[in-house]
């Protein structure tokens, strides 16, 4: 089982979305045919609360992960059209987002526009590089890797479909 598999609560949340999908202009059958994953932003209750708030406000419309983590977990990375049930730190569903674009670039090539779209801190590339370097240092240690300027970063853009 992957950490991205839907929990029963997330599955119920997704089913509720499908019931209301036609009124939102979405075809429930087309939505059901898509890959649907469970995800959350941040690795602490405080960070998750802050990042989820930014998503729900519309400030945060991008995120990123290191491809190495997906590979180490034997999981398929997100793709364009993937739907994610976003939860709070305790696993309670908060919204459903759709991946609208995905770019695989070395850390050193992540640009100002992506940093701004992530919506964090002062939204500058300098801020993004500093906090994400520390993030990847913590998370890559779990798989025996260290961050580098060449590490493959999956820069995701998304939109909130339902909350």
- Percent of the chain exceeding pLDDT 70 equals 98
Mean predicted confidence (pLDDT) in 111-130: 98
pLDDT of residue 120: 96
Band of the pLDDT at 1, cuts 50, 70, 90? very low
DSSP line for 23-89: GGT--HHHHHTS-EEEE-S-SSHHHHHHHHHHHHHT---EEEEEHHHHHHHT-PPP-TT-EEEEE-T
pLDDT tens track for 2-26:
567 899 999 999 999 999 999 999 9
- Percent of the chain exceeding pLDDT 90 equals 92
Mean predicted confidence (pLDDT) in 65-94: 94
């Amino acid at each position: 089982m992957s950490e991205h598999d839907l929990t029963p609560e997330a599955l119920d949340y997704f089913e509720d979305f499908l019931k209301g999908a036609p009124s939102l202009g979405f075809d429930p059958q087309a939505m059901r045919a898509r890959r649907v994953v469970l995800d959350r932003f941040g690795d602490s209750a405080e960070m998750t609360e802050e990042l989820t708030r930014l998503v729900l406000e519309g400030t945060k419309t991008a995120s990123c992960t290191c491809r190495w983590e997906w590979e180490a977990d034997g999981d398929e990375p997100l793709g364009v059209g993937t739907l994610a049930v976003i939860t709070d730190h305790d696993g309670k569903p908060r919204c459903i987002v759709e991946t609208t674009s995905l770019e695989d670039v070395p850390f050193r090539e992540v640009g100002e526009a992506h940093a701004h779209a992530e919506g964090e801190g002062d939204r500058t590339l300098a801020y993004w590089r500093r906090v994400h370097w520390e993030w990847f240092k913590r998370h890559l240690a779990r798989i025996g890797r260290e961050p580098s300027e060449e590490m493959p970063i999956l820069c995701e853009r998304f939109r909130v479909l339902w909350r």
